[in-house]
Structure 1
Amino acid sequence: MSANLDDCSSISNFMRQYGGNLAIIPAFDEVYWELDTCTLGATNRTPCTKVVPYEFFAPYCYNMVSECIYYGRDEYFDIESNGMSAALFGGPAAPIYSPLAC
């Protein structure tokens, strides 16, 4: 299912508005922020725990919304300089119809 543009924009706004809050991401782990049809995920690809303010993700989130979500596509962003990755995506699509499925 494609992410709703308004839901993803609201996540971006939340990251900016609550920028002083801290995301604590353990080594090689991920965190998620979800709002209805949209999810922002951040992955720590380093062997050390990362502590980053929410506002760190806001520009990446806004960029992903305008570059991909706007066009109905999910997006992945490699934040190589910080050893992290971020993704903005919708929910999984429903399975293919089968008359035998219950």
Structure 2
Amino acid sequence: MNVDYRTMGRSGLTVSQACLGAMNFGAVGLASCDETEATRIINAFLDAGHNFIDTADIYSGDIYSGGQSEQIVGRAIAARRDEVSGPAPGPLDGRAAPR
């Protein structure tokens, strides 16, 4: 499979054109994807050569996943961190932190 990449603005980050949205990862609020399934999805996305996962601090609010989204993404990519470009979940507070 051929994956197309782009440079994100003036940041110098090279990201896949496809971005995996993590809003529904978690089991509270409006989230509907448990950690096992989210990890499977994340690994399949990375295995396909993509490297852009959307985590945003808005997902930490109670309405979406109560912060579970960022925590799940962080655990799922921990061993593959060098394959992911852009923001990464912070280790303690679930908020996005620059790489």
With structure 2 as the length reference, what TM-score do the two structures score? 0.28
- Bigger Rg over Cα: 1
Which has the higher relative contact order, 1 or 2, with Cα contacts under 8 A spaced 6 or more apart? 1
